[in-house]
């Protein structure tokens, strides 16, 4: 008789629910790394925005205050008055930076959807939201990014991206 791994079943149903519940999305690209015994890791958003200095797509971990200060400076490089970065307890925490790079209009967004720990890796699920052809957007360059904090775990980071395209047509 065939046995079904509970984790695999949970991942399958989670992906199915995500795809089916995105009523306004007309495209979804999901790449999934299936690993046994993955655990959800809590995270805290430190900052997010669309007017950063991250001109290239960036997915990286930040392990010390100097790296964080540099990332913070890039995040606020277009601002005259820059807020100061928080002090982070890098003995117990690490940060994750995700950025879409330069986009030719408004309507773009990036966020960490979830972080999971497997036996060998930390899996960061990123959701990139893009405006559909029917959307009216601002005609300005945008640079979406997000910085989050997680507990320090000495494992390899794996980044997975889900693409969500918003359909802005008015329902009649």
In angstroms, the first-to-last Cα distance of the chain is 50
Compute the average pLDDT of residues 13-19.
40
* 3 state DSSP class of 113: strand
Nearest to 157 by CA among 126, 117, 111, 128: 117
The 10 Å Cβ neighbour count of residue 112 is 21
pLDDT band at 122 (very low <50, low <70, confident <90, very high): very high
Under 8 Å between Cβ of 88 and 81: no
State residue 169's pLDDT score. Answer: 81
Domains of the chain by residue range:
27-166
Compute the average pLDDT of residues 104-125.
97
């Amino acid at each position: 008789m065939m046995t079904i791994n509970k984790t695999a079943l949970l991942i399958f149903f989670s992906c199915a629910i995500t795809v089916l519940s995105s009523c306004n999305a007309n495209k979804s690209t999901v790449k999934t790394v299936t690993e046994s015994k993955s655990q959800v890791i809590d995270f805290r958003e430190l900052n997010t925005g669309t007017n950063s200095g991250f001109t290239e797509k960036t997915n990286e971990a930040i392990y010390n205050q100097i790296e964080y200060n540099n990332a913070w400076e890039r995040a606020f490089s277009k601002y005259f008055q820059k807020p100061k970065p928080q002090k982070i307890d890098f003995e117990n925490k690490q940060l994750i930076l995700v950025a879409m790079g330069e986009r030719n209009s408004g309507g773009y967004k990036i966020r960490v959807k979830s972080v999971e720990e497997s036996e060998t890796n930390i899996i960061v699920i990123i959701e990139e939201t893009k405006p559909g052809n029917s959307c009216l957007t601002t005609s300005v360059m945008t640079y979406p990014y997000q910085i989050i904090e997680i507990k320090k775990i000495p494992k390899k980071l794996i980044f997975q991206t889900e693409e969500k395209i918003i359909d802005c047509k008015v329902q009649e």
